[in-house]
Amino acid sequence: MSENPQQPQSPQQPGPPPQQPEQAPAYGSPPPGQPPHQDQPGQAGQPQPGTGYGPPYGPGAPYQPQPLNPSDERMWTVFAQIGPVLLSFIAPLVIWLVFRDRSRFVDQEGKEALNFQITLIFVHIACAIISVVTFGLGSIVYVVFIAAVVFMILAAVENSKGAPYRYPLNIRLIK
């Protein structure tokens, strides 16, 4: 052997290297012939400051929702008042839950619309009982739902102007 590190050293045993049985790579390991993956700072697996979906002021800071502008407030309150025509109490419930922290007006009007829809559910149950007891003659009480639609339209018009609306005969279960 030579003492010079510049010269390559020859192997002591000439011949082919011993063969090992081929195994399928484990799940998540790199394909054969590639070096194993090592996470470097700034690569996937390592969080980078200032990126992602979190708030820009730090990962441990509490979430501060952005307030709605007045036109968005009016739009969402109108949807909360008119949405029940198609989706019953689901529309005001979702709008109230999503936007209650972002606007006092949407919080107030979303609760009002949700309470009115809950009241209408009770009225519907009462109308059904009256209809069954009177063998269908009492189904005329379903006319009350025409008044409910009129109240929802009045509420939407007032909310579109930015004014609050209080339903008459509303059971306010959600405070």
Greatest Cα pair distance, the chain, in angstroms, is 113
Residue 88 in domain = yes
Q: Is 34 within a domain?
A: no
| Amino acid 57: pLDDT | 56
**Would residue 97 count as lying in a domain?**
yes
Q: Does residue 151 fall inside a structural domain? A: yes
Residue 1: the pLDDT is: 54
Using 50, 70 and 90 to split pLDDT, how confident is the model at 169?
confident
How many independent structural domains does the chain possess? Answer: 1
What domain range is 98 assigned to? 70-160
Inside any domain, residue 60: no
Higher pLDDT, 89 or 23: 89
Spatial CB neighbours of 79, under 8 Å, sequence gap ≥ 6: 91, 95
Going by pLDDT thresholds of 50, 70 and 90, the confidence category of residue 175 is confident
| In-domain check, residue 29 | no
Residue 63 lies in a domain: no
- Higher pLDDT among residues 138 and 42, named by residue: 138
Examine the pLDDT at 58 and tell me if it is beyond 60: no
